[in-house]
């Protein structure tokens, strides 16, 4: 697949003024406030984003210039260093406008997290601007062999969301010897050495695989390489952070904000149907929707379900963050609570959108209705690993005294 022309070229350490950009919001409050102004623009652009099958250049610019990609950049660099709760709120806000955009934003802002696993000098060289976007599938789908000064990487990765506009593209792999035998992790002592190798996106071959039911605009195409040299300094292991703090305490930091996507999408769908109700009358009974007991009960029930799911997400994130920031050891319940709440948010949001789709009836099937896209987005995002029933088994094992078999909790 030919790469999109929206790909950012090698960055240079220019200031915002030199680049001709307006001032980029640089505090949590300013970034969140600006994100709220983008919601109507994203909602209007939703059909165009979906048809494009990747984020259009102007939408990427809205995120970059709105400070979204710098959200996790450290305060020592002049970044805003949003907490996990603030990152989730930011993604939730964007998702009320467009789910594909929020998905790409969620992954793009991992730059600040990844930078904390690299040597400081290398990280500053790789991220001369705070507004560079990351992408990549970090699970160890590839294999890398040690060579002088780095690794030779081979593999193919799925779900390269935002890879058409990213500045750096990561690839998860296992380090193996020339015969393919896995190398143990030198830090954690685990029998395999999971490592993320980071290269320019131009170093990979892209495959036009992202033809999907939902989240079409995320551009989550496959990418591959064969015998690609990656310098040692542009690689990292989650077992060996170089920066301290809650954002670098475990790999799950990149997942904590994910719940914002289903929560924001469900919020948008509920608001849409509530606004519709003010002008709708039941065709069979002639009863205005605002006075229809069935509609009233359904809306109230769904509001309650969203409120409960959202509260669970933010309460578990806050509990985890406070413990990590205070140096307190997490209990087993606290370690898995964010994963349980995240899965529940995805499943609940899908149920909410499906119920609203059914409530509205025949008119919801026409593409001018955003319910059609929200429903397809909801079903697609629930195929992600974080929303699967396997999460219940993995977390239930920990809750019943077992040892975690997941690197994320």
- The per-residue pLDDT for range 199-219, each reduced to its tens digit, is 999 999 999 999 999 999 999
Q: Which of 134, 40, 23, 31 is nearest to 89 (CA)?
A: 31
Task: State which CATH number among 3.40.190.10, 3.40.630.20, 1.10.10.10, 1.20.140.10 fits the domain covering 255-399.
Answer: 1.20.140.10
Q: Which of 94, 136, 157, 133 is nearest to 6 (CA)?
A: 133
Quick check: 4 pLDDT over 50?
A: no
In three state form, how does the secondary structure of 210-243 look? CCCCCCHHHCCEEEEEEEEEEEHHHEECCCCCCC
Beta carbons of 258 and 106 less than 8 angstroms apart: yes
Sorted by where each begins, the domain ranges of the chain are 28-126, 134-236, 255-399
Mean pLDDT of 166-181: 96
Quick check: 300 pLDDT over 60?
A: yes
Beta carbons of 319 and 330 less than 8 angstroms apart: no
Q: In the prediction, which pLDDT does 10 show?
A: 35
> Lowest-pLDDT range, 2-11, 234-243, 316-325, 358-367?
2-11
CATH code for the structural domain at 134-236: 2.40.110.10
Which tens digits make up the pLDDT trace of 326-373? 999 999 999 999 999 999 999 999 999 999 999 999 989 988 889 999
Sort residue 197 into left (φ over 0), alpha (ψ -120 to 50) or beta: beta
First and final C-alpha spacing in the chain: 36
- What are the strands of the beta sheet with 150-160, ordered from one edge? 205-207, 221-231, 150-160, 134-147, 168-176, 194-199, 235-236
Contacts 24+ apart (CB under 8 A), 351-356: 351/305, 352/266, 352/269, 352/270, 352/302, 352/305, 352/306, 353/265, 353/266, 353/269, 353/378, 354/378, 355/298, 355/302, 356/269, 356/270, 356/272, 356/273, 356/302
DSSP state of 204: S
Name which CATH class applies to 28-126.
mainly alpha
Mean pLDDT of 129-151: 97
Beta carbons of 295 and 277 less than 8 angstroms apart: yes
CA distance 187 to 184: 9
């Amino acid at each position: 697949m030919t790469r999109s022309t929206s790909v950012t070229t090698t960055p240079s350490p220019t200031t915002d003024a030199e680049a001709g950009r307006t001032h980029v919001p640089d505090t949590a409050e300013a970034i969140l406030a600006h994100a709220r102004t983008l919601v109507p623009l994203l909602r209007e652009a939703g059909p165009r984003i979906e048809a494009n099958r990747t984020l259009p250049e102007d939408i990427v610019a809205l995120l970059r210039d709105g400070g979204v990609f710098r959200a996790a950049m450290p305060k020592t660099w002049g970044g805003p260093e949003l907490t996990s709760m603030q990152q989730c709120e930011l993604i939730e806000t964007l998702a009320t406008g467009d789910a594909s955009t929020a998905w790409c934003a969620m992954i793009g802002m991992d730059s600040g997290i990844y930078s904390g696993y690299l040597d400081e000098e290398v990280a500053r060289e790789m991220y001369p601007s705070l507004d560079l976007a990351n992408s990549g599938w970090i699970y160890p789908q590839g294999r890398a062999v040690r060579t002088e000064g780095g690794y030779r990487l081979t593999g193919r990765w799925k779900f390269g969301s935002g890879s058409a506009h990213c500045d750096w593209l990561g690839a998860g792999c296992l380090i193996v010897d020339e015969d393919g035998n896995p190398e143990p992790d030198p830090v954690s002592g685990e029998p395999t050495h999971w490592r993320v190798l980071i290269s320019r996106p131009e170093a990979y071959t892209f495959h036009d695989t992202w033809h999907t039911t939902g989240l079409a605009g995320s551009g989550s195409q496959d990418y591959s390489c064969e015998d690609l040299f990656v310098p040692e300094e542009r690689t990292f292991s989650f077992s060996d952070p170089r920066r301290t703090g809650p954002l670098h305490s475990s790999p799950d930091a990149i997942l904590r904000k994910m719940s914002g996507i289903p929560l924001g999408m469900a919020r948008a769908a509920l608001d849409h149907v509530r606004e519709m109700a003010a002008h709708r009358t039941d065709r069979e009974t002639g009863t205005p929707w605002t006075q229809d007991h069935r509609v009233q009960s359904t809306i109230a029930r769904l509001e309650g379900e969203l409120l409960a799911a959202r509260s669970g997400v933010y309460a578990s994130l806050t509990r985890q963050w406070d413990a990590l920031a205070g140096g307190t050891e997490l209990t087993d319940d606290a370690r898995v609570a964010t994963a349980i709440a995240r899965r529940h948010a995805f499943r609940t949001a899908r149920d909410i959108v499906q119920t609203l789709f059914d409530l509205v009836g025949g008119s919801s099937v026409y593409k001018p209705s955003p319910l059609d896209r929200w429903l397809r987005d909801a079903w697609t995002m629930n195929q992600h690993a974080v929303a699967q029933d396997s999460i219940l088994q993995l977390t239930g094992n920990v809750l019943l005294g077992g040892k975690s078999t997941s690197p994320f909790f």
